[in-house]
Amino acid sequence: MRARTVMIAALAILVAAAPAFGPSSVAAQGKEIFIPLLVYRTGPYAPSGIPIANGFVDYFTMVNERDGGINGVKITWEECETQYDTKQGVECYERLKGKGAALVNPYSTGITYQLIPKAPVDKVPVFSMGYGMSASSDGRWFPWVFNFPTNYWSQASAVIRYIGQQEGGLEKLKGKKIVHIFHNSPYGKEANPTLEDIAKKYQFELTLLAVDHPGQEQGATWLQVRRINPDWIFMSGWGVMNQVAIKEAASKGVKMDHFIGNWWSASEADVVPAGEGAKGYKGATFHAPGIAFKVHQDIVKHVYDKGKGAGKKEAMGEALYNRGVVNAMYAAEAIRTGMKGGKTAPTQDQIRWGFENLNLADKRLEELGMKGFTHPLKVSCEDHEGSGPIRIQQWDGQKWNLVSDWIAPMRDVVRPKVEAAAVEEGKKLGYTMRDCSKEK
Amino acid sequence: MASVLYAVFVGPFKDMASSPSFLIEVLLGGIATGLMYSLVALGFVLIFKASGVFNFAQGVMVLFAALTLVGLMEKGLPVPIALLVTMAVMILLAFAIERVVLRPLVNQEQIILFMATIGLNFFLEGFGEMLWGANVKRLDVGIPDRSVMLVGIQVNQLEMSAAGTAAVLVTVLAVFFQRTRIGRALRAVADDHEAALSIGIPLKTIWIIVWSVAGLVALVAGVMWGAKSGVQFSLSLIALKALPVLILGGFTSVPGAVVGGLIIGVGEKLGEVYWGPLVGGAIENWFAYVVALVFLLFRPQGLFGEKIIERV
Amino acid sequence: MIYREAGQFKTSYSADQAIFPIVQDRVVVVVAIVAAFVVPTVVADEYWLQAVLIPFLIYSLAALGLNLLTGYAGQLSLGTGGFMAVGGYAAFKLTTAFPQLNIIVVFLLAGLIAAGVGLLFGIPSLRIKGFYLAVATLAAQFFLIWLFNKVPWFTNYASSGTITAPPRSVFGVIITGPNATAEARYVTVLALVAVFALIAKNLVRGRVGRAWMAIRDRDIAAEIIGVRPMRTKLLAFGISSFYCGLAGAEYVFLYLGSAETLAFDINLSFLVLFMVIIGGLGSVLGSFLGAAFIVLVPIFLTNVPHMIGLALPVALMKQIELMVFGGLIIFFLIVEPHGLARLWQITKEKLRLWPFPH
């Protein structure tokens, strides 16, 4: 009885105090750049989310410590846990945008789709690096959404180009069997139309095998792969699907060096459970793995040595850690471009302009300590993708090594599709196409 | 129309006949997977049989057991010691659950107890992750995850060992329930808590025993599945796959869990490999449920479940 | 002392059978509804509307639907997510095929389509009972999600595989699409929920509700006295799916703005079931209370550390949140197994006597 009374009283207090919850809106002071960090450090995708989040935080900490911020303006950030869940992601965004968000990295295709319509209304650029809505590569329809340095369709075409290189030329692909194993979600299906177009063009036999979420049990899929006996396998997976797929492939005796994962299927978390069996597995990437770059030394010097590291020092250099670092670098450079040399925090329109006019040349990359880490990049009004190339990395049992040079995507196949999709998606949201020539 | 009928009813069988060794591989794969589903379903059956509770947290218990084992192994404990310590942890967990969740809710409706296990599910999820971290962990049981060729058929060593372990475990449990005094007591408790109490069966002890055994079964399941895919959060989602096994076999039958598992495992594989391509693949998720549903329509209590006697 | 019925005499049957026979109740409810329409629209900021109130109302509607099926008719169902998906996708297809059709009409039609699907998947309930039925409804859940994933017609062949709510307006006010203000959406949702909650309340007080409860408590005895099980159970499935379908359409159009099938997966079904059980099976108010609990408690737990100045790492906070949430559920069930609605009932009973002890 008493417990019941206590509970009723507690509920009453909760209801009465409810309006006190909610976000504390702190208006941007002009003295700091605030970046909300949507992360997933718990839940089913945590093994992938943790290194990305650490990469972000370490890079921003380093920029504050080493350079005193961007042009002297400090960066502040706040992490918000989304567990890769769309609803939680949107709630995080709504709570944090009131603090003057400079940009948002949703790190989930589902959350990205939710935030894209809000971007022009809230004036917060959505930076979905290498994921999200591929159609947003056409900046004429989506001025506030950026997905450079490359998108899924370009990646698929570049992977085929790599396979062609390995086979001795794209013409040699005729009659070969290529299987695409994909996560049965809009993310996984992204590459399919592009692959089908390229399959028609170069006349190889393409088989598409869907794996249902979450992909914990893939016995049937791999039995089918065994029956088809393909020459090459490409995978667009995510989460536990990757780990199980690599294990199954290894146990079925698939040639691992003919098995290529996309850039979300080629990280340490994916290959570790398979142990020895994962040796030789390849993956696509748009930045280098490892810590052999000056930027890492800077992070060690200014962040870890001062005890401010977000994760473990040994985890630096992991594929997804570097992903976070590169993402943070792009964001910082875009903001710097938008500031145009000024010393106060930029406005939202300036940040958007900065993203759209980002021009990372070799020289600047070297200044950042990232020479060779990633490819030079130029974003423009029409091209929010930067149409960057990819590289192929391979797991040797201990770490990832780059085994190819930069491979360009098949822009002639991909760009028309991007433009068509942009028209479709843009019209759905009621947008009109910008005229880039009028905005110089 | 005729081509659709042909494609559904004739084509796949021709496909099967055209490559019998491949068909056997599919069947073997199905049996192995099915037995691994049964392992998880066993935990559900044990608890439902003895306390009438549908333990929503069984999947998380599988994860928690595997996490504890791997966590201890990572801290440097040798495997046998780590196993013993994990077993002790699961037994402690059973004590805690009985004291905190079950005792206050004695004789409440099934749905209330179900909801309590949902609360337990959330709690263990957060607790396990807090203790051991959210990274994926490699579980090495010493059996290589490689395939060998046996009479022209590819056979996976790890899968076969898992299947063997599951078979042994199930036999032991079946004997335990049917032949021992404790087994009888468990069945009495499942029928009616208060009646069992009134004839002197110690409810508390029985519950602790049952939840401990379920915890140990969860540990075995966790080891087997963890060896296949690494120990991480999605292990708890296996429980969803075990549900059709439960419906098929009946909620209260240990042999039912096995037979149900085999039927679902084999059915799933056959369906996906031979009928899946007709509809674009990835039908595994709902195929098992539909199979179970069809069975249920003919036997509403499952294949081996206790016949539901209704009193008006 | 305040909450007394003394002096309130009913002089007609209809007055006696009113939903809120006590005048104080009626006054409070009317004030509450007016306040619900006016106060948040004027006072609340976008975060509160977008992240708390609108999802709370939509989940309440879905929980109401499930409560009708599980709480009143006793048919345990885990297919709520699937039926909400049917509502969402049906609304999308209808409004893109007939753009001039009023969006409220579209929602209602989507609900009807969901009701049809629910009728279909309710057929096994004629043979299967209890937990077995729950698992059978999971077949509906997984199949429907697979169907929407697989067949591109449902998303109008979109390359992204998501459905996006096109901008639509009612009485000249835009209520869907990216330019719809949170206030407009909130008022629409509140209006729909209020109307359908009233309908549900009347349903359960009438013959249909009594038939459901008879089937729930003693289905064989009910059959003997003339309650037709097939009709009653299928009606329960149909009406419940209508509510869930309507909630699903609102979910996509008035809350999320765009959705992929992952938004309607098994977790949503479980979430709505939790709301129903915590709120109280067999209670219209319980659906609202349960939804409030499930929506508010995680937000409360996320914000409390900020408020008391405790800065914990994000992952640890989430894990503690999960543990506290699970612990709270167990605690609630031990203290009041029949849910929050029963707590409210006890409070009202105590209020009738207060300040006297008996």
Query: Nearest CA of chain C to the CA of A154: how many Å?
Result: 15
Number of A:B CB contacts under 8 A? 121
Instruction: Flag if B297 and C220 touch (Cβ within 8 Å).
Output: no
Gap between the Cα atoms of A363 and B262, Å rounded: 63
Choose the mutation target among A7, A182, A223, A242 for the interface with B, i.e. most B CBs under 10 Å. Answer: A223
CA C272 remoteness from chain centre: 7
Instruction: Report the sign of the C-alpha dihedral through residues C117, C118, C123, C129, in that order.
Output: positive
Q: Which residues of C touch B312 (CB under 8 A)?
A: 218, 220-221, 224
Q: Is there a contact between A7 and C336 if contact means CB atoms under 8 Å apart?
A: yes
Q: pTM for the whole thing? A: 0.88
- Contacting residues of B for A216, CB less than 8 Å apart: 225, 229, 234-235, 237-238, 241
Can you give A52-97 as a three-state secondary structure string? HHHHHHHHHHHHHHHHCCECCEEEEEEEEECCCCHHHHHHHHHHHH
To the nearest whole percent, how much of chain C has pLDDT over 70? 99
**How far is the C-alpha of C321 from the C-alpha of C316, rounded, in Å?**
8
Q: Residue C47 and residue A212: Cβ atoms within 8 Å?
A: no
The DSSP bridge pattern shows strands A259-261 and C169-170 to be unpaired
- Tell me the longest C-alpha to C-alpha distance in chain A: 81
Interface of B with C in 90-109 (CB under 8 A): 100-101, 104-105, 108-109
Rg (CA), chain B: 21
Q: What is the pLDDT, as a whole number, of residue A258?
A: 93
Distance separating alpha carbons of residues A75 and A55, to the nearest angstrom: 15
pLDDT at A97: 86
Flag whether pLDDT at A307 surpasses 50.
Answer: yes
- pLDDT at position A272 over 80: yes
Is B230's CB within 8 Å of A273's CB? yes
Q: Where are the beta strands (DSSP E) in B230-277?
A: none
Average pLDDT over residues A145-153: 90
Cβ contacts (< 8 Å) between C300 and chain A: which residues? 14, 18, 21
Residue B312 lies in a domain: no
| 3-class DSSP state of B231 | strand
Is pLDDT of A16 > 70?
A: no
Q: Chain B within 8 Å of C334 (Cβ-Cβ)?
A: yes
pLDDT at C95: 92
- Please report the residues numbered 207 through 226 in chain B whose beta carbons come closer than 8 angstroms to any beta carbon of chain A: 225
* Backbone dihedral angles phi then psi of residue A288, each to the nearest 5 degrees: -85, 155
- Indicate the residue of C51, C146, C340 with minimum beta-carbon distance to A94: C51
Instruction: Provide the pLDDT for residue A3.
Output: 67
d(CA C260, CA C85): 9
ipTM for the predicted complex: 0.83
Q: What six digits make up the tokens of A71? A: 């042009």
User: Is residue A313 within 8 Å of residue A305, measured between CB atoms?
Assistant: no
Give yes or no for C323 touching B (CB within 8 A).
yes
Contact A142, A426 (CB under 8 A): yes
Residue of B nearest to C329 (CA): B119
What's the mean pLDDT when you consider all of chain C?
Answer: 88
Is the pLDDT score of A369 beyond 70?
Answer: yes
Nearest CA in chain A to C301: A21
CA A200, chain centre distance (Å):
29
Contact B312 C129 (CB under 8 A): no
User: Best mutation site among B63, B98, B118, B127 for testing chain C: the one with the most C CBs within 10 Å?
Assistant: B118
User: Using CA atoms, how far apart are residues A296 and A231, in angstroms rounded to an integer?
Assistant: 38
- For A89-119, write each residue's pLDDT tens digit: 888 888 888 888 899 999 888 889 888 888 8
A216/B241 Cβ within 8 A:
yes
Subunit contact A243:B147, Cβ cutoff 8 A: no
Q: What's the pLDDT tens digit per position in A404-433?
A: 999 999 888 889 989 988 888 888 777 888
Q: How confident is the model at residue A25 (pLDDT cuts 50, 70, 90)?
A: very low
Please indicate whether residue C195 or residue B283 has the higher confidence score (pLDDT): C195
Q: Is A114 on the interface with C (CB under 8 A)?
A: yes
The more confident residue out of A401 and B165 is A401
Cross-chain residue pair C337–B108, CB shorter than 8 Å: yes
- Residue B202 is classified by DSSP as -
Residues 6+ apart with CB under 8 A from A303: A58, A61, A62, A65, A309
Q: How far apart are CA C288 and CA C278, in angstroms?
A: 10
Touching B (3+ Cβ pairs <8 A), the chains are: A, C
Within a domain: B210:
yes
Q: Please identify which residue in the block is written with the tokens 């063009």.
A: A201
Task: Tell me the shortest Cα–Cα distance from C181 to chain B, in angstroms.
Answer: 35
On whether any CB of chain B is under 8 Å from the CB of A253, the answer is yes
Mean pLDDT of chain A: 87
Asked whether residue B96 is assigned to any structural domain, the reply reads: yes
Residue at B305 is within a domain: no
| CATH code of residue B30 | 1.10.3470
* DSSP code, position C100: T
Q: What is the pLDDT of residue C21?
A: 81
In a domain, B152, yes or no: yes
Pairing state between β C258-259 and A391-395: unpaired
Domains: count for chain B = 1
Residues of A in contact with C311 (CB under 8 A): none
- Residue B37 CA to residue B41 CA, distance in Å, equals 6
Higher confidence at residue A274 or residue C71? Answer: C71
Look at residue C170 and give its three-state secondary structure.
strand
HEC profile for chain A? CHHHHHHHHHHHHHHHHHHHCCCCCCCCCCCEEEEEEEECCCCCCHHHHHHHHHHHHHHHHHHHHHHCCECCEEEEEEEEECCCCHHHHHHHHHHHHCCCECCEECCCHHHHHHHCCHHHHHCCCEECCCCCCHHHHECCCCCCEECCCCCHHHHHHHHHHHHHHHHCCHHHHCCCEEEEEEECCHHHHCHHHHHHHHHHHHCCEEEEEEECCCCCCCHHHHHHHHHHCCCEEEEECCCHHHHHHHHHHHHCCCCHHHEEECCCCCCHHHHHHHHHHHCCCEEEECECCCCCCHHHHHHHHHHHCCCCCCCCHHHCCCHHHHHHHHHHHHHHHHHHHHHCCCCCCCCHHHHHHHHHCCEECHHHHHHHCCCCCECCEECCCCECCCCCCEEEEEECCCCEEECCCCECCCHHHHHHHHHHHHHHHHHHCCCCCCCHHHHC
Q: B-chain residues within 8 Å CB-CB of A44?
A: 232-234, 237
Tokens standing for residue A176 = 């070969």
Q: Which of 282-301 (C) contact B at CB < 8 A?
A: none
Closest CA to C144 of C74, C95, C81: C81
Q: Is the pLDDT of residue A353 over 50?
A: yes
What is the distance in angstroms between the Cα of C285 and the nearest Cα belonging to chain B?
19
Q: Which two tokens stand for residue A270?
A: 């994916």
Shortest distance between the Cα of B153 and any Cα of chain A, in A, equals 11
Residues of C in Cβ contact (< 8 Å) with A87: 55, 256, 263
Dihedral sign of CA atoms A51, A52, A56, A59 in order: positive
pLDDT number for residue A38: 92
Residue A26 has pLDDT above 50, yes or no: no
Q: Is C163 helix (H, G, I), strand (E, B) or coil?
A: strand
List B residues 56-75 in contact with A (Cβ-Cβ < 8 A).
none
Q: Do A219 and B276 touch (CB under 8 A)?
A: no
Bond from prior residue into C167 cis (ω within 30 degrees of 0): no
Q: Determine, yes or no, domain membership for B311.
A: no
Question: How many angstroms away from the CA of B185 is the closest CA of chain C?
Answer: 24
Give, for B115, the enclosing helix (H) or strand (E).
Answer: helix B110-132
As a residue count, chain B comes to: 312
Q: Which of C220, C333, C334 is the closest to B310 by Cβ?
A: C220
What's the Cα-to-Cα distance from A400 to each of A12, A189, A262, A320, A394, rounded to whole Å? 56, 26, 14, 11, 5
Q: Yes or no: say if C58 and C255 are a contact pair by the CB < 8 Å rule.
A: yes
Residue B239 lies in a domain: yes
Query: What's the domain range around B276?
Result: 2-298
E-assigned strands of chain C? 163-164, 169-170, 173-174, 258-259
User: Cβ of B312 and C337 within 8 Å?
Assistant: no
Tokens of B210: 């049952």
Task: Say how many CA atoms lie within 13 Å of C101 toward its Cβ.
Answer: 16
- Cα separation of C45 and C90, whole Å? 31
Q: Which of A43, A252, A272 sits opposite B230 (nearest CB)?
A: A272
pLDDT-based confidence at residue C291 (cuts at 50, 70, 90): very high
Tens digit of pLDDT for each residue in A40-59? 988 888 888 899 999 999 99
- pLDDT at site C1: 64
The yes-or-no verdict on residue C69 having pLDDT over 70 is: yes
Distances from the Cα of B61 to the Cα of A77, B36, B55, C231, angstroms: 36, 15, 10, 41
Query: Distance, in angstroms, between B33 CA and closest chain A CA?
Result: 8
Contacts with A208 from chain B: Cβ below 8 Å? 281
Question: Is the N-terminal amide bond of A214 cis, ω within 30° of 0?
Answer: yes
Say if residue C252's pLDDT is above 70: yes
Task: Round to whole Å and give the CA distance between C132 and B58.
Answer: 17
Question: Which residues on A lie below 8 Å from C304 (Cβ)?
Answer: 21
Angle at B262 between CA B259 and CA B263, to 5 degrees: 85
Please tell me the predicted confidence (pLDDT) of residue C276: 92
Q: List pLDDT tens digits, range C297-313.
A: 888 887 777 777 777 78
pLDDT by position in tens, chain B (length 312): 778 787 778 878 887 788 888 888 888 888 888 888 888 888 888 888 877 788 888 989 999 999 999 888 888 888 888 889 999 999 999 889 888 888 888 778 888 888 888 889 989 988 988 888 888 888 877 777 777 777 777 777 877 888 888 888 888 887 887 788 888 888 788 777 778 889 988 888 888 888 888 998 999 888 888 887 788 887 888 888 888 888 888 888 888 888 889 999 998 888 888 888 877 777 777 888 888 888 888 877 777 777 767 766
Tell me if A227 and B134 make a contact (CB, 8 A cut-off): no
Give kind and range of the element (H or E) at residue C317: helix C314-335
The confidence score (pLDDT) of residue A28 equals 46
Four-CA torsion A337, A342, A343, A345, nearest 10 degrees: -60
**Alpha-carbon span C291 to C190, nearest angstrom:** 14
B304 located within any domain: no
**Chain B residue with Cα closest to C150:** B280
Work out the pLDDT band at A128, boundaries 50, 70, 90: very high
Min Cα distance A398 → chain B (Å) is 14
The overall longest dimension of chain C from CA atoms, in Å, is 67
The SS3 of residue C179 is coil
Give chain A's end-to-end CA distance (angstroms, integer).
Answer: 73
Lookup: tokens for B108: 């409440």
Q: What digits encode the pLDDT tens for the residues A212-259? A: 878 888 888 888 898 889 999 999 999 888 988 998 898 888 899 999
Best residue in A4, A213, A217 for a mutation probing chain B (most B CBs within 10 Å)? A217
d(CA C79, CA C93): 21
**DSSP structure class, residue B137:** B
Given a cut of 50, whether residue A27 has pLDDT beyond it is no
Query: Contact A110/C263, CB-based, under 8 Å?
Result: yes
Does any CB of chain B come closer than 8 Å to the CB of residue C120?
no
Parallel/antiparallel/unpaired status of strands A400-402 and A259-261: unpaired
Residues of A in contact with C328 (CB under 8 A): none
Report the amino acid identity of residue A36: P
